[in-house]
Amino acid sequence: MTSPVTYARQGRIGLITIDNPPVNATGQAVRAGLIDAARAFAADDAAQAGVLICAGRTWVAGADISEFGRPPQAPFLPDVIAAIEALEKPVVAAIHGTALGGGLELAMGCHARIAAPSARMGLPEVTLGLLPGAGGTQRLPRLIGLMPALEAMTSARQIPAPEARELGLIDALADGELTAAAIALAETLAGQPPRRTRDLPAPEADPAATDALKARLVRSLPGQIAQTTAVDVATEGLALSFDEGMAVERAGFLALMDSPQRAALIHAFFAERAVAHLPQIAGVPPRALDRVGIVGGGLMGAGIAVSCLLAGLDVTLLERDQAGADKAAATVADLLAGAVSRGKLAAPRRDAILADAFRTATDHEALAQADLLIEAVFESMDVKRQVFAALDRVAKPGAVLATNTSYLDVNQIADATSRPRDVIGLHFFSPAHVMRLLEVVVPDRAAPDAIATGFALAKRLKKVAVRAGVCDGFIGNRILAHYRAAVDAMVLDGADPIAVDRALTGFGFAMGPYAVTDLAGLDIGYMTRQRKAADRHPRDRVPAFADRLYEQGHLGRKSGRGYYDYAAKPPVPNPDLPALLEAVRADLGLTPRGFDADEIVARTMAAMVNEAARVVEDGTALRPLDVDVVMLNGYGFPRWRGGPMHWADAHGLDRILDDIRRFAAEDDHFWRPAPLLVDLVATGRRFADLNEGQSA
Ligand code: 3H9
């Protein structure tokens, strides 16, 4: 087998090239190849300096993550980097694309660094539940100072090359072609002793600043261990000799490698990439995607428009009348202004978008040239069918027609057209220009290239797309409805909604369910209950307290009061809530009882996992990992727990099934174990076994 690392010489410069697509990760073959190439360079007397460069789209993007969790294989990356740093002739790292994790650590072990102006570099290990394990904690502070280095490794921020130059992380920006510029730099260093990062003085400790940073990390990332461990390891190591510091780093890295958080975060990383690999669209090219038409300019339609505009697409937004069009245009302008003020968009680019790429219209004919039409109107089957019949009349042949419904039957919507092959669901999450999740809902007759176009759109918008089957609520909202029912039942039986929120944010959710309700508006849940009232089973439990709050005009944030009172800053629990709950329970003849935080979490998670198992079993989600990606990106599930299915595997499916059976003793209508869960427990399998080896 040929090595992914080669050595060649140009004049008196030795050229070491890594070529390991797609991202030049330092798997075992690259590590072994680097040792061999370093030896060849050292032995080549005609070479007086070297250049280390990468083929393909990027410099080394890190260690090979797919090797994590398996027995490590020599040579180890810290030793490879040490061997390069120990060379007697200077080596220049020539960086393009992204130098991340072990990739940046490799560059810091070289004796000089030059980068293409577009390159970015960073230490993102904490996002995988790790800390830099190949010298990053010891070399980066020596190059750029203690606090900038700690900030970089705890935030995982990608530093643009010009800023890296100012920080002293790199020595030069390439002027022109990178290889030539790197060789020119190496020429200036030829014959000189190599400058080794390890020999630079370690920066002084600053306990007040590091304590403040750790306190901030504990506050902003509750429950996560990698960030604070990285600070401790870096500072402890810097107080020692370089070699002792490296030993401290190694021990910290290996300890985190064994942590459940590392397993969860790496599962999330691979799951987010696996969702795009659908057998149904393998090798199917998407349709053209330049012009987008959006029907409906409310907050959702405007958010989708902004998301498309920021991705460089041309957008026409259709409203019913001129007043509606003007209002929608104002919303789009506001959202773009927000992007400018947050530094995400340059003002001249915003002006160009508004002048050239965006327009409103009131006549369907304006959508005739769109490649993709996205409907974002009122959630009513009749209204949506009318819209689709109208789109069918004007859309060009081959245009993809998408509905943004969050629960309606997309097959019925497709039937309103003469071209059901072109119809899919694109379920965006609000605010659409911020939230990363996109459920691509696949009705029965959708053509593979229409589905592929949904996935291509997500990639273009930098969102993660997950395929979902047609059912009420698709993947996410269906699971949400189920665990909402579980928390509402606890509140009916005596739990305090505020304590429920506290227990679930303690578990790691970004927000508790009642704070979320206040944010969305209590009218949303009320309307949903009204809509479903006719189909309600007599044993379904109705959150009468939520109806009563709504009836009293408490709609949450928008009215100033819901479960919390927003007149106070920060908001406090609504002081009238305990009496309201007491009255509702008395009316229903319920005797309240207590629920501690563990019980609240156990019931919520059991309900979520049980419904998720049904969602997988009936094919609404393709695999358990698709559920995890939905809940991580659309519902605030803590990433460091990997998603509900990964969490369930780690927690033990048998324990969850036991819980469900225990809860069923009180309510065997709601707590019916999903057959898939029962089967997995009976056969000693896990959800991960159903991921077909597509996630770590
Ligand atoms: C580390 O370095 C530890 C060290 O400190 C210590 C070691 C001792 N390994 O994201 P994309 C695959 S920890 C293996 O779609 P993009 C990815 O799965 C590591 N595979 O492309 C995908 O495969 P597929 C620190 C990797 O252009 C394909 O490459 N580094 C790795 O949108 C394309 O990926 C990181 O955390 C990897 N390291 O983004 C960087 N990286 O096509 C992680 C990617 O089969 N990587 N793959 O689905 C990234 O952030 C992005 O992939 C990157 C490219 C920005 C590089």
Q: Is the per-residue pLDDT at 695 higher than 50?
A: no
User: Which uninterrupted H or E stretch holds 52?
Assistant: strand 49-54
Which atom of ligand 1 lies at the shortest distance from residue 158's CA? 55
The total of other beta-carbon atoms located within 10 Å of residue 380's CB is: 12
- The model's pLDDT over 124-179, given as tens digits with 9 standing for 90+, comes to 999 999 999 999 999 999 999 999 999 999 999 999 999 999 999 999 999 999 99
Give the distance (Å) from ligand 1 centre to CA of residue 23.
Answer: 6
Give the distance (Å) from ligand 1 centre to CA of residue 22.
Answer: 9
CB of 100 shorter than 6 A to ligand 1: yes
Q: What is the mean pLDDT of residues 427-439?
A: 94
CA distance 184 to 188: 7
Cβ(517)–Cβ(525) below 8 Å = yes
Q: Is the per-residue pLDDT at 109 higher than 50?
A: yes
Q: How confident is the model at residue 592 (pLDDT cuts 50, 70, 90)?
A: very high
CB of 62 shorter than 6 A to ligand 1: yes
User: Is position 105 annotated as part of the catalytic site?
Assistant: yes
- The model's pLDDT over 28-70, given as tens digits with 9 standing for 90+, comes to 999 999 999 999 999 999 999 999 999 999 999 999 999 988 8
Virtual CA dihedral for 280, 282, 288, 291, nearest 10 degrees? 60
- Residue 26 DSSP code: B
Q: Is the per-residue pLDDT at 256 higher than 70?
A: yes
- Half-sphere exposure (CA, 13 Å, Cβ side) for 414? 22
Give the distance (Å) from ligand 1 centre to CA of residue 179.
Answer: 24
pLDDT at 696: 37
Q: Is the per-residue pLDDT at 694 higher than 60?
A: no
pLDDT at 406: 86
| Residue pointed to by tokens 């999450």 | 429
Whole-angstrom CA distances from 61 to 124, 125, 316, 596 are 10, 11, 38, 45
Q: Is 641 helix (H, G, I), strand (E, B) or coil?
A: helix
pLDDT at 409: 94
Q: Which of 85, 125, 272, 439 is catalytic?
A: 125
Which of 18, 20, 23 has most ligand 1 atoms within 8 Å of CB, for mutation? 23
Q: Is 652 helix (H, G, I), strand (E, B) or coil?
A: coil
Give the distance (Å) from ligand 1 centre to CA of residue 638.
Answer: 21
Q: Are strands 120-122 and 98-100 parallel, antiparallel or unpaired?
A: parallel
pLDDT at 528: 85
CB of 624 shorter than 6 A to ligand 1: no
pLDDT at 72: 86
Q: Which residue's CA lies nearest to atom 39 of ligand 1?
A: 23
Q: What is the mean pLDDT of residues 552-564?
A: 95
CA distance 242 to 576: 61
CA distance 663 to 672: 9
Q: Is 128 helix (H, G, I), strand (E, B) or coil?
A: helix
Q: What is the mean pLDDT of residues 333-357?
A: 95
Structural domains for the chain? 5-258 (3.90.226.10), 289-468 (3.40.50.720), 494-499+511-593 (1.10.1040.50)
CA distance 31 to 16: 13
pTM value is: 0.93
Q: Which residue's CA lies nearest to atom 11 of ligand 1?
A: 273
CA distance 371 to 449: 13
Whether the link from the prior residue into 570 is cis, omega within 30° of 0, is: yes
Q: What is the mean pLDDT of residues 83-91?
A: 98
With a CB cutoff of 8 Å and minimum separation 6, the contacts of 271 are 625, 626, 628, 629, 643, 646, 691, 694, 695
With a CB cutoff of 8 Å and minimum separation 6, the contacts of 145 are 167, 203
CB of 64 shorter than 6 A to ligand 1: yes
Cβ(384)–Cβ(409) below 8 Å = no
Tokens (6 digits) for 618: 């009936």
- Which of these, 345, 383, 386, 359, lies nearest to 294 by C-alpha position? 359
CB of 65 shorter than 6 A to ligand 1: yes
User: Is position 85 annotated as part of the catalytic site?
Assistant: no
Q: Is the per-residue pLDDT at 430 higher than 90?
A: no
Q: How confident is the model at residue 222 (pLDDT cuts 50, 70, 90)?
A: confident
Q: What is the mean pLDDT of the chain?
A: 96
- Residue 404 DSSP code: -
Q: Is the per-residue pLDDT at 693 higher than 70?
A: no
Percent of the chain with pLDDT over 70: 99
